[in-house]
Structure 1
Amino acid sequence: MSTEIKAPTFPESVADGTVATWHKQPGEACSADELIVDIETDKVVLEVVAPTDGVIKEIVKGEGETVLSEEVIATFEAGAAAEAPAPAEKAPAAEAADTPAAEVTTDAEKVGPAARKLIEENGLDASQIPGTGKNGGITKEDVQNFLKNKPAAAPAAAPAPAAAAPALNVPAGERTEKRVPMTRLRATIAKRLVEAQQNAAMLTTYNEVNMKPVMELRKQYKDLFEKVHGGTRLGFMSFFVKAATEALKRFPAVNASIDGNDMVYHGYQDIGVAVSTDRGLMVPVLRDTDTMSLAEIEGTIADFGKRGREGKLGMDDMQGGTFTITNGGVFGSLMSTPILNPPQTAILGMHKIQERPMAVNGQVEILPMMYLALSYDHRMIDGKEAVQFLVTIKDLLEDPARMLLDV
């Protein structure tokens, strides 16, 4: 029995999507709930799975085509067996030379967009990758499997660091370029960041925090914390989330958003945490952080990171948010100016912890210091509020007991 495979139902904020990768081709066997196609939207990549055991009968929307919410993208034959491929006949060289160009399958046609992106990012040779798709086509999974097995297959062939830098295999001295289409997600990120700078009166205020108290507290209890909370590790982010939550309650304007000519004050704290993925920057949201424990925060953030790397963050994970925290310190950033995440009115930037000589009670001490940056929309937040908000976070982190005592 034939059934229709449809695109997922997109939320109102997402107009359409793009077919990124077909993992199954017509005639290939599919198991129930097996991934058959990825659809990329402005926010996330959505997975469509097989409704039951059977085969793909026909693909209606090919890779790179635009699809609307619940639009038919393929037909599926439930219970059907995979088709056995017909044996290929070897054509004489003279006949092959006369084959029209439209009938020739080139290497470029055998590589899907998602697979091609991975190949280009890793500087791979497509001819060396075994293809399991239709007519020997190379899928994203083929490239991923090749990357996994590559070190084990030829460990001695690892290039020197200097030779590993070029992404293209070209003779030395040549001036090369490569043009790669921007993904919908990355294009949307770029558009929103530009709009934030054009439409908001954005300013940034800076401060620095002594991380020694938090580091000592973490060192003292991290093993016990991990044991009590089932393997959840105690990091720094949970302290910043709790400090930001308390500061947001004290300064409601920082926890607000702008909607046209209206200022919307939120009576809850939903904090977005920026997560870097291969597809781009994503900001999943921690809901009601005022009610979350440190363990719940750390566990949820770890889950966000894992699902972000696997491309499994959903639309619901990133909807809403009243404030955002981004941590450039994990990549070594000492100081930066974070850009607002509209319609939010503020974003906190964390940075690298670095030991510096500091004057303490007339004496010079070497302390682990971190620069903090708060970018804010001056249309909603006055400079006085922004500075006091950042100082509140600094004070809470330098004396973590204040968060427990609510003082």
Structure 2
Amino acid sequence: MPTPILMPALSPTMEEGTLAKWHVKEGDEVHSGDVIAEIETDKATMEVEAVDEGRIGKLLVAEGTENVPVNQPIALLLGEGETAEALKEAAAPVAPPPSPPPSAPKEAAAVESKIRTASPAPRPAEPAAQAARPAEAGRIFASPLARRIAKEKGVDLAAIEGSGPRGRIVKADVEAAKPGMVTRRPAPLAAAPGAPAPAIDPRAFYEKGSYDEIALDSMRRTIARRLTQAMQEIPHFYLTVDCQLDELLRIRKDLNAKSEGDVKLSVNDFVIRAAALALMKVPDVNVSFAGNALLRHHHADIGIAVALEHGLITPIIRAAETKGLAEISAEARELAERAREKKLKPDEFEGGSFSISNLGMFGIKHFTAVINPPQAAIIAVGRGEERPVVRNGKVEVATMMTVTMSCDHRAIDGALGARFLEAFKAFVEYPPSMLL
């Protein structure tokens, strides 16, 4: 029977995507690893590789189709020895479940009411592998290539949990298995719930024709959903500190003057480095709240907010504590450029342990930022500006920068957040400590 090629979930939060381009046509032979399509998500455009060998029997979704749900079949792959006749069987419609007889609507309503009363809470969803391979069917879902390799290696397919769509066993699963070995894969992350519609529809307050209605694209819908979820689920609190920048600006000027390459350090590069070192000094801030546990991260994986035309994205500098200012500067610039071109891979913007949002270049002095799940903190960085400060009873002028930290109170208490900002401020105000 033809193997369905499904719309892949290219990130834990992806629910739908746009099939931007096919790299194959009906009748083409494909092998594992061949690029078969390009998929656009709200954040990036990515190539999709084949996981099985075979021949493209039918393309079910046309190029340019938007809002294709994850796990919807987008093509059918014919296996070894299968002909186009097999496509008819695959395309046969599934019979709908029988409806209750018209003579018993009251009885059906009563049964439905009893079910609701007896089961007020929904049952947890079955693992993907179990849902894809129901016990009553007794069928093992595996690609033809995986079956052939399993037979040659003497591997029992029943002992393998597949990593393919809907728990299907693919070539890589069999190659990684040993006879009698049971392989495990982590349970998929649950998708974030959709953002609720506003309680008050603003259209009711304005005369039709007095405004233009602009439909939300996939990026703005995702931002709306995730930020609504973050503000509803994460108890935010805020801490603010002022950092003096005069020494940092002097050192930055000297380093840029002596730089022989194209790298020119920005204030934000120093901020990233200072935040990374502060996370290592106060590791209890470098965490994620996981319900019944805190995940303390080994590295400072710092997301940097990048403004796009219709939204924003936070590409991540991994293990930033291990990188010098020049390396951070080059990587931040390269990530930002690819982010604007929608060329980032999911692992370059998903996850992270901490974020920085800097609006200083727009003249913003102070603001607060929304925490980016699954992280537990973010700092909002304002512009550096000359301000009067009092030292030893005298008024002096210094270049100051206001930084506000948003904390997840489930994971970070006020004193802990204050210790982090104290460490961060010390690094910013004495930059030589960052270079050690």
Task: Please list every run of 5 or more consecutive structure 1 residues that lacks an aligned counterpart in the other structure.
Answer: 27-34, 50-56, 76-173
Residue in structure 2 matching 1:276, options 293, 298, 307? 307
In structure 1, the partner of 2:192 is: none
In structure 1, the partner of 2:415 is: 384
In structure 2, the partner of 1:215 is: 249
Distance 2:291 2:251 in 1: 44
Deviation at 1:265, TM superposition (A): 1.0
3-state SS of 2:435 partner: helix
Deviation at 1:266, TM superposition (A): 1.2
1:295-310 to structure 2, matched below 5 A, reads 295-310=326-341
Q: Tell me, yes or no, if the aligned pair for 1:19 and 1:37 is still in contact at 8 Å.
A: no
Distance 2:351 2:59 in 1: 38
Deviation at 1:181, TM superposition (A): 1.9
Deviation at 1:239, TM superposition (A): 1.1
Letter in 2 for 1:13: P
Deviation at 1:176, TM superposition (A): 3.1
Change (3 A) 1:404 1:19: closer
Deviation at 1:73, TM superposition (A): 6.2
3-state SS of 1:352 partner: strand
Deviation at 1:210, TM superposition (A): 0.8
Deviation at 1:361, TM superposition (A): 3.1
Letter in 1 for 2:329: E
Q: Tell me, yes or no, if the aligned pair for 1:257 and 1:344 is still in contact at 8 Å.
A: yes
Deviation at 1:313, TM superposition (A): 1.6
1:204-243 to structure 2, matched below 5 A, reads 204-225=238-259, 227=260, 230-243=261-274
Deviation at 1:273, TM superposition (A): 0.8
Distance 1:280 1:323 in 2: 19
3-state SS of 1:222 partner: helix
Residue in structure 2 matching 1:197, options 201, 226, 231? 231
Q: Tell me, yes or no, if the aligned pair for 2:351 and 2:374 is still in contact at 8 Å.
A: no
In structure 2, the partner of 1:40 is: 40
Deviations 1:310-355 (A, max 9, x none): 1212212112201111112122221111111112111111111121
3-state SS of 1:379 partner: coil
Distance 2:209 2:339 in 1: 35
Letter in 2 for 1:68: V
Distance 2:220 2:45 in 1: 12
Q: Tell me, yes or no, if the aligned pair for 1:263 and 1:380 is still in contact at 8 Å.
A: yes
Distance 1:308 1:389 in 2: 29
Residue in structure 2 matching 1:368, options 384, 399, 421? 399
3-state SS of 2:366 partner: coil
In structure 1, the partner of 2:9 is: 10
Distance 1:290 1:210 in 2: 22
Q: TM-score, normalised by structure 2?
A: 0.59
Q: Does 1:324 align with 2:324?
A: no
Letter in 1 for 2:248: V
Distance 1:369 1:318 in 2: 31
Q: Does 1:181 align with 2:183?
A: no
What's the % identity of the aligned pairs?
33
3-state SS of 2:66 partner: coil
Letter in 2 for 1:261: N
Change (3 A) 1:345 1:72: same
Deviation at 1:200, TM superposition (A): 1.5
Deviation at 1:197, TM superposition (A): 1.4
RMSD: 3.3
In structure 1, the partner of 2:18 is: 19
Change (3 A) 1:7 1:279: farther
Deviations 1:96-143 (A, max 9, x none): xxxxxxxxxxxxxxxxxxxxxxxxxxxxxxxxxxxxxxxxxxxxxxxx
3-state SS of 1:64 partner: strand
Change (3 A) 1:73 1:221: same
Q: Tell me, yes or no, if the aligned pair for 1:22 and 1:63 is still in contact at 8 Å.
A: no
Change (3 A) 1:295 1:71: farther
Distance 2:65 2:286 in 1: 41
Deviations 1:240-271 (A, max 9, x none): 11211121112222100011221111122111
Distance 1:378 1:67 in 2: 35
Q: Tell me, yes or no, if the aligned pair for 2:363 and 2:382 is still in contact at 8 Å.
A: yes
Change (3 A) 1:389 1:58: closer
Q: Tell me, yes or no, if the aligned pair for 1:21 and 1:38 is still in contact at 8 Å.
A: yes
Distance 2:248 2:36 in 1: 46
Deviations 1:273-327 (A, max 9, x none): 1111114110111111121111110001000111122121221211220111111
- More deviation in 181-190 or 344-353? 181-190
Distance 1:65 1:343 in 2: 25
Residue in structure 2 matching 1:356, options 370, 387, 399? 387
Letter in 2 for 1:234: L
Q: Tell me, yes or no, if the aligned pair for 1:345 and 1:380 is still in contact at 8 Å.
A: yes
Q: TM-score, normalised by structure 1?
A: 0.63
Distance 1:276 1:23 in 2: 30
Q: Does 1:333 align with 2:364?
A: yes
3-state SS of 1:19 partner: strand
Distance 1:280 1:12 in 2: 18
Deviation at 1:15, TM superposition (A): 4.7
Change (3 A) 1:73 1:214: farther
Distance 2:244 2:5 in 1: 54
3-state SS of 1:209 partner: strand
Distance 2:406 2:217 in 1: 27
Distance 1:287 1:246 in 2: 13
Q: Tell me, yes or no, if the aligned pair for 2:7 and 2:68 is still in contact at 8 Å.
A: no
Q: Tell me, yes or no, if the aligned pair for 2:60 and 2:74 is still in contact at 8 Å.
A: no
Q: Tell me, yes or no, if the aligned pair for 2:230 and 2:370 is still in contact at 8 Å.
A: yes
- How many aligned residue pairs are there? 289
3-state SS of 2:375 partner: coil
Q: Does 1:347 align with 2:381?
A: no
3-state SS of 1:186 partner: helix
Q: Tell me, yes or no, if the aligned pair for 1:60 and 1:74 is still in contact at 8 Å.
A: no
